[in-house]
Amino acid sequence: MKKTWIVVLLLAMAWSVAAFAEDGADPKSEDDTLAVKLGFYNQRDGKNNFGGNHFIDENETVFESIILLDKAITPQDNINFRFLTDIISSASISRYHNPQFRALQSGASGNKNFVGTLGWQHKWENTTLGLNVSGGKEYAYKSLGYGVTLSQDLFEKNTNVSLRFQGYNDGIKTILFNGFEAQATSRDTYTGEVAINQILTPRSIINVAYGHTEQHGMLATSYNSVFAGGVEGQEIVPYRRHRDSITGRYKFSFTDSNAVELGYRYYWDSWHIYSNTAEVRFFQYLWNKKILLEPNYRYYLQDRAFFYQQSFSAFSALQTSDPDLGDFNGNLFGLDLSLLDPHFFTWWRGDLDFGFNYNLRSDDLNGYWFTAGYTLRF
């Protein structure tokens, strides 16, 4: 199945390039972009490491860089490339009650992750078809991804309906909390989504989407463990997981210089995790639309998985103390700043963007991150 998707994507790209060579079409260069993004994320594990899992220090730092390229090769065809790499320095894998195990896991601290995605998109008058393939590798796993997107404009382009399928086939090292490495196993993830964008008025638009995901295989997290009576044991989660979500967004422009977006998402899955997300984002142009400010706020509320506990009185067939599978709420505050084609130098032709977000969680597992990017149009 996955080999078929790769062949289809490569053939489509080859056809697109050949068509361009034959008719000598001139691509729309104004649509070409090259973007470089840098990010820094820091997670703090409460006072005395009593956030999230009380038995483990979950401080974490991540440095990330992303390169994005979108290039028109014919008036109807675009190719895009995305490369992501990050370096993770994590104390969450260090258990201070077990110095020997800390040494065993030292290879995972400073872990580097690489992900590359190659995509192709073809546009007809009212229809767009996109294909993508991706590959990734890090310390504990490797991944192959593939997907297809089809969208259709209707009613004089006031309505857009899109269908998306995305699959990932991962190979995972089963590394337990005590350093033992079991036989490598797999994890498969398949997601389908349908979305509708509807222009309501000249100043307002609404988006509604439904997504369903099927996962099976190794769904536990490497190194995760639980404690029962002070004894450390392996995290055990179900082999399968079904995930569903419904999302709605409404965007309204007050004037030509500002707008507001309201969003809501409801999520549920077969592990009995239910969550609600409410978000508001404001857009404000300044200085003759050379600066764009985007303050935003998000509230998140989640119930726990049916097999989650902070600690256990006895080991069970299913068990986890992963705080991301527990019950908590979060308040995220953010601000994005974009300098649009600022021309600081005569050769400068792109946009600069900066972002800061701070997330406060009720389980005291808080985090903040900075982003900075440059987008060149050519």
Segment 197-202 mean pLDDT: 97
Nearest-angstrom CA–CA distance, 24 and 138: 42
Residue type for 347, please?
W
Count CB neighbours of 97 within 10 A. 11
Residues 358, 375: Cα–Cα separation, whole Å: 24
Token pair in block for residue 130: 């996109």
How far apart, in whole angstroms, are the C-alpha atoms of residue 249 and residue 260? 10
State pLDDT tens for residues 48-75: 666 777 777 778 889 999 999 999 999 9
| pLDDT at residue 10 tops 90 | no
pLDDT confidence of 6, banded at 50, 70, 90? very low
**Res 19 pLDDT > 60:** no
Of 265, 331, 330, 251, nearest to 294 by C-alpha is: 251
Do 166 and 131 touch, CB atoms closer than 8 A? no
- Band (350; pLDDT cuts 50, 70, 90): confident
Q: Give the residue among 126, 42, 32 at the shortest CA–CA distance from 81.
A: 32
Average pLDDT, the chain: 86
How much of the chain is helix, strand and coil, in % rounded to 5?
10, 60, 30
Q: State the residue for tokens 């969208």.
A: 151
CB 137 within 8 A of CB 170: no
pLDDT tens by residue, 232-277: 999 999 999 999 999 999 999 999 999 999 999 999 999 999 999 9
CA distance 365 to 280: 23
Instruction: Give the C-alpha separation, 213 to 192, whole Å.
Output: 6
In angstroms, the CA 82 to CA 230 distance is 45
Tokens 């006031």 belong to residue: 158
CA 286 to chain centre: 30
Check pLDDT > 60 for residue 15. Answer: no
- Whole-prediction pTM value? 0.86
Q: Where are the domains of the chain?
A: 47-57+93-370
Closest alpha carbon to 10 in 166, 136, 132: 132
User: In angstroms, what CA-CA distances link 129 with 29, 81, 164?
Assistant: 20, 16, 10
The full DSSP string for 191-248 is EEEEEEEEEEETTEEEEEEEEEEEEEE--SPTT-EEEETTEEEE-B--SEEEEEEEEE
Q: Give the three-state DSSP class for 132.
A: strand
State how far the Cα of 373 lies from the Cα of 40, in Å rounded to an integer. 12
Q: Given phi > 0 = left and psi -120 to 50 = alpha, else beta, which region is 157?
A: left
In CATH, what is the architecture of 47-57+93-370?
Beta Barrel (2.40)
CA dihedral 110, 232, 241, 326 (to 10 degrees): -90
pLDDT at 92 over 50: no
d(C-alpha 57, C-alpha 94), whole Å: 7
Please give the share of the chain, as a percent, with pLDDT higher than 70.
83
In the three-class reduction of DSSP (H, G, I as helix; E, B as strand; rest coil), residue 68 is classed as strand
Amino acid at 163: L
